[in-house]
Chain A
Amino acid sequence: MDSTAIAEHIPRLRRYARALAGDSHRADDLVQDTLERALSKFHLWRHGSDLRAWMFSIMHNVFINQLKARRELALDEATEAALESPPQSDPLQLRDLDAALRRLPAEQREVLLLVGLEQLSYLEASQALDVPVGTVMSRLSRGRERLRALMSDANLSDASSATNLKVVK
């Protein structure tokens, strides 16, 4: 076994990072830090265990550290509630899924992406995030509901801006 195996996971790590971090520069920062850490800790990886899940767990730790550094992490329900109604709510910016994802608390976004985008099992997601499966489920539930709400708001604002355009014409 050699570490070129890690290389095979780069495209999928990049996909996840892009969805998680938003812009491609920050996403590749995340991938780069993750790869560096994975390579330096490769001897800690248990042979036979799922390398992909291990890489995701490393990325999770890197991501959390980066968020802490930027003080963006929703640590508890209180900060989460604050995020729910952002101070400068601009529905016009909320046009697409990517923008809606940015409005989710990081912990919900992670679960939603690991399960929905990367198709990890709930157990794998719980291992990658180092939380119980029950926590994965509750974050998934809240994340999906919030995403649904955000997207329907976005559709409404799209519809209203389209109407406005017509009026202006």
Chain B
Amino acid sequence: MSNINENDLHAYADGQLDDARRVLVEAHLAHDPAAAELVRVWREQNEALRALYNPVLNEPLPQRLLALRAQRRRWPYYALAAGTMCLGFALGWMTQAYRTDPFIEAAALPRRAAIAYAVYAPEVRHPVEVGADQQDHLVKWLSKRLGSELKAPVLTQQGFDLVGGRLLPGGKGPVAQFMYQDAKGQRITLYVSHRDAEPRDTAFRFSQEDKVGVFYWIDGKLGYALSGEMARANLLAVASVVYRQLNP
């Protein structure tokens, strides 16, 4: 009948066709119930696989994978091929490694931030514990609890006003969440966690956690994550402003 082959059907079931080809396949399926049934079964298989194995994503990582932090710390220094440095770093590692989990930390920050966003951003009556009308108190309080001097960035130029903030339980202690809102009621949150690890800096990273986009970075002793349900480019623009304000 048409030039639709089985590969097209697979690609259709997997959502890998471009628009033009997809229309052709859809027209074909309308007249070929056997092919339509195949596609239905394949999609069902995909969905069943995800339903069965997606829970693994949320399992805590087992200890032996955490133990890989040793490798993570050693390899760049091998690359530097400096034996004496190795010794120094090894000593540093021995005193630090048991308290820090770069693996976990990097993977956990955007997810925790996105969850905190998803919980509090839709909140109508109690989105924050302390409102922006008591901003000085809010910042002092959160700084004291985190043990680091925090700042609430000013994002009015970007159309976002501070709503307030709250204290949250993080993986290893208190975490601060600042919430902002624009004229349309769209909210973003800045999630700040104090790191127990040695200070370091990272570049911006992006993580899509379901509907919530998160830009996150580590700056010395603090980990930051800016979360929002908006286009990645828009969120990045705000994240850049936040970063510049925190690093004048």
Contacts and interface: CB of A to CB of B under 8 A. Distances in A.
Interface of A: 1-5, 7-8, 10-12, 14-16, 18-19, 28, 31-32, 35-36, 39-40, 42-43, 96-98, 112-113, 115-117, 119, 121-122, 137, 140-141, 144, 147-148, 151
A117 B46 contact: yes
A5 B7 CA distance: 34
Contacts of A39: 68, 71-72, 75
Interface stretch (B51-59, B117-125, B225-233, B234-242): B51-59
A10 B6 contact: no
B212 to A, nearest CB: 16
A5 to B, nearest CB: 7
6 contacts: A7-B102, A35-B71, A39-B68, A115-B14, A115-B46, A144-B42
A97 B42 contact: no
Nearest to A4: B106
B62 interface: yes
Interface in B66-112: 68, 71-72, 75-76, 79, 102-107
B207 interface: yes
B104 A7 contact: yes
Interface residues of B, number: 40
A45 B7 CA distance: 31
A137 B42 CA distance: 13
A18 B65 contact: no
Contacts of B14: 115-116, 119, 122
Interface of B: 6-7, 10-11, 14, 16, 41-42, 45-46, 48-50, 52-54, 56-59, 61-62, 64-65, 68, 71-72, 75-76, 79, 102-107, 202-203, 205, 207
A116 B65 CA distance: 26
Contacts of A96: 52
Contacts of B202: 2, 4
B106 A32 contact: no
Nearest to B54: A15
A32 B64 contact: yes
* 7 closest cross-chain pairs (CB), A and B: A7-B103, A4-B106, A116-B46, A15-B56, A117-B49, A7-B106, A11-B57
Contact of B205 (A3, A5, A36, A97): A5
Nearest to A18: B56
B45 A15 contact: no
Contacts of B207: 8
Contact of A117 (B16, B53, B105): B53
Given A28-B65, A32-B65, A122-B11, A116 B45 contact: yes
B63 to A, nearest CB: 10
A18 B53 contact: yes
Contacts of A15: 53-54, 56-57
